[in-house]
Amino acid sequence: MNHTLSHQQIERARKVIPGGVNSPARAFGAVGGEPVVIDRGQGAYLYDLDGNQYIDYIGSWGPQILGHRHPQVMQAISDALAKGTSFGAPCAAETEMAEFLCEAVPSLEKVRMVNSGTEATMSAIRVARGFTGRDRIIKFSGCYHGHVDSLLVQAGSGALTLGTPSSPGIPKGCTQDTLSLEYNDCQQLEETFEKFGSEIACIILEPVVGNMGTVIPDKEFLQTCRDLCTKHGTVLIFDEVMTGFRVAFGCAQSLFGITPDMTALGKIIGGGMPVGAYGGRADIMAKVSPDGPVYQAGTLSGNPVAMAAGLSTLKLLRDVNPYPHLELMGEKLAAGLTAAAQAAGIPHQLARVGSMLTLFFNQQEVKNYSISSQNDTSRFAKYFHGMLNRGIYLPCSQYEAMFISNAHTEEDLDKTIQAAQEVLKEIA
Ligand code: PMP
């Protein structure tokens, strides 16, 4: 494949943008080489500056569940655009969005729109702290909730170690109240609540993890989170920025039948535009300014063009109901990739919930970050580049989930599986 124009563009970008990218996840840091620069998307495909076509399994890291340039979404955006781009005053679309979200997502009684997943989780934590009057929070190693200061912590070495920042630029004070525990470990969670129960404002977690590769929660684990929060007056926050409207129309909380107190959303609800949201129980959300004392704001929040993109996407998901089809497609792709890895004799695990999946190069089932950190990432790098050269665009890290959209066809999956058979044989 020829990448001359991509290369030139990245060289140019590096002079004026750190690393040439506006988010490190797209820099190919974990797999080496240079990112391809995308010119346009259509349905399940991306096209780079050099005209190469790729079957896209990133979908803008989640939002493009309908594929690129769905005609109804494009129309809704251009209709909204014709009226102006932003008013900094209430608009009807933001109320329609809030009504839609409260109807679809079990935990939402009231919701506030923001502009990214990071803003959603950051604000949810602030509100949980304001509501409980407590400072400590619990997160789980390997879960990512955006670049929020208090959540960028290293995993503690012992069960009850307090977090230390994982990035320079974060004062120790920001993470001293963050307890970082192992995902799917009920005993550690119970011990932590025994010690600190009355001081813990919230637990925040991905109800299916996407950010250490796809990691599926034990039912008992989610139930333990729910029970301990109820018992100790702690706010349970599901970060459904990735799983929201991805694993089920009612999000992971409806799939597992466990209702958190608050939910953070992003990605799909913006239909490809910069959107996030957080919400939950009405008594908790009553603390949010201007109803309550917890301050949170945004010049562009509830932006009419972004609301139009998000609402049209969500209405299509409700009306078309692609989830049974996405389940079948997920099953087919998972079976094909598993068979390809088996045939090549490569140790692997395939984790999947609906259209969200990861092929791990690991001997053990990946239940938490300790196990995920043993993935064979150098093998993944070879796999990634082999697939990219065959026109298959996978997430450029073993610690990310791949996504299927409703625009992918069986033929796309067959091509992908065929490519995986060739590549995995080559790198065995
Ligand atoms: N939470 C989760 C679960 C995510 O996957 C992400 C982004 N990948 C975020 C929060 C942060 O969202 P954003 O990048 O929109 O700030």
Angle at 85 between CA 79 and CA 89, to 5 degrees: 110
Identify the residues whose C-beta falls under 6 Å from ligand 1.
Answer: 61, 116-118, 121, 144-146, 206, 210-211, 239, 241-242, 266
List b or e across 27-58, with b for residues whose CB sees 16 or more CB atoms inside 10 angstroms. Answer: bbebbeeebbbbeebebbbbbbbbebebbbbb
Confidence of residue 162 (pLDDT cuts 50, 70, 90): low
Q: Among the options 48, 177, 185, 239, which is catalytic?
A: 239
| Cα distance between residue 26 and residue 31, in whole Å | 11
Query: What pLDDT does residue 22 have?
Result: 96
Query: What pLDDT does residue 390 have?
Result: 98
Q: How many structural domains is the chain composed of?
A: 2
- Residue from 321, 317, 356 nearest 57 by CA: 356
Edge-to-edge strands of the sheet including 45-48? 38-42, 45-48, 53-56, 392-393
Whether pLDDT at 191 is above 90: yes
ipTM, two decimals, is 0.99
Ligand 1 centroid to Cα of residue 209, in Å, is 11
* 286 and 352 inside one domain: no
Cα dihedral across residues 47, 52, 53, 58: positive or negative: negative
| Cα distance between residue 410 and residue 252, in whole Å | 26
Q: Among the options 54, 57, 144, 183, which is catalytic?
A: 144
CATH code for position 336: 3.90.1150.10
Confidence of residue 163 (pLDDT cuts 50, 70, 90): confident
Q: Which atom from ligand 1 is nearest to the alpha carbon of 243?
A: 3
Does residue 213 sit in helix, strand or coil?
A: strand
Ligand 1 centroid to Cα of residue 118, in Å, is 6
Domain edge (last residue) among 320, 337, 365: 320
Ligand 1 centroid to Cα of residue 36, in Å, is 22
Supply the range of the domain harboring residue 277.
71-320
Q: How far is CA 421 from the centre of its chain?
A: 28
Q: Which atom from ligand 1 is nearest to the alpha carbon of 266?
A: 15
183 is catalytic: no
Confidence of residue 155 (pLDDT cuts 50, 70, 90): low
* 263 and 370 inside one domain: no
Q: What whole-number percentage of the chain has pLDDT above 70?
A: 98
List b or e across 231-256, with b for residues whose CB sees 16 or more CB atoms inside 10 angstroms. Answer: ebebbbbbbbbbbbbbbbbbbbbbbb
* 59 and 104 inside one domain: no
Q: What is the SS3 assignment for 77-124? A: HHHHHCCCCCCCCCCHHHHHHHHHHHHHCCCCCEEEEECCHHHHHHHH
Task: Tell me the mean pLDDT in the region 150-160.
Answer: 67
Ligand 1 centroid to Cα of residue 422, in Å, is 33
| Cα distance between residue 371 and residue 367, in whole Å | 7
Ligand 1 centroid to Cα of residue 146, in Å, is 5
- Residue from 401, 398, 392 nearest 354 by CA: 401
239 is catalytic: yes
* 287 and 333 inside one domain: no
| Cα distance between residue 204 and residue 81, in whole Å | 36
Domain edge (last residue) among 270, 285, 320: 320
| Cα distance between residue 101 and residue 288, in whole Å | 18
Q: How many of the other CB atoms lie within 10 Å of CB of 4?
A: 9
DSSP per-residue string spanning 340-370:
HHHHHT---EEEEETTEEEEE--SS---SHH
* 44 and 82 inside one domain: no
Q: How many of the other CB atoms lie within 10 Å of CB of 195?
A: 12
Does residue 253 sit in helix, strand or coil?
A: helix
* 219 and 267 inside one domain: yes
* 267 and 414 inside one domain: no
| Cα distance between residue 356 and residue 326, in whole Å | 9
267 is catalytic: yes
Domain edge (last residue) among 277, 304, 320: 320
Task: Tell me the mean pLDDT in the region 391-412.
Answer: 97
Chain segment 287-304, per-residue pLDDT in tens = 999 999 999 999 999 999
CATH code for position 244: 3.40.640.10
* 94 and 21 inside one domain: no
Mean pLDDT of the residues in the chain? 96
Q: Which atom from ligand 1 is nearest to the alpha carbon of 211?
A: 5
* 227 and 343 inside one domain: no
List b or e across 69-82, with b for residues whose CB sees 16 or more CB atoms inside 10 angstroms. Answer: ebeebeebbeebee
